[in-house]
Amino acid sequence: MIQWNNEFSVNNDAIDNEHQSLFTALNDFYEGLRQNASRDSMGKLIDNLVFYTKTHFANEEIYMQKIGFPGIENHLNEHREFISKVEAFQSKIKEGKLLVSVEVTNFIKNWITNHIKTQDKQYAVFVAQK
């Protein structure tokens, strides 16, 4: 569903590796959807995706603080909004109120890829200009 390539690189090995792992978690979720996995299995896959996203965002936020990135507040707000939306999906899926769908998966994929290519690239440019 989503393949890593240098277009997503922020020129930081640790963060690039985390982004690749995030892609893997998203692809696992998509694969579960494609294979019609049980609601319990899909719940575990979205739990993994949410957990990994939170872990990655925390690490990325520490990095942005460390480098003194001036756009950190906007970036943090984007992270919070995304986590809020994904946690709402997570709750509704577990309660049986939302069917896991390609639309949900595409929303997550599109948000992550757009965020890396636009927002994360900003701190990469900031570091390169230092």
Q: Which residues of the chain have pLDDT under 70?
A: 98
Could you tell me which CATH class the domain 11-129 is placed in? mainly alpha
pLDDT in tens, 12-24: 999 999 999 999 9
The answer to whether residues 51 and 28 touch, using CB atoms and an 8 Å cutoff, is no
pTM of the model: 0.90
The pLDDT of residue 97: 78
Tokens of 6: 């240098």
Cβ neighbourhood burial of 53 (10 Å; 0-12, 13-18, 19+)? buried
The pLDDT of residue 44: 85
Place of tokens 């939170």: 54
For the chain, what are the domain ranges?
A: 11-129
pLDDT in tens, 75-86: 999 999 999 998
**Helices marked H in the chain — which ranges?**
13-34, 39-67, 72-94, 102-115, 121-129
The pLDDT of residue 96: 77
> What's the full length of the chain, in residues?
130
The pLDDT of residue 120: 97
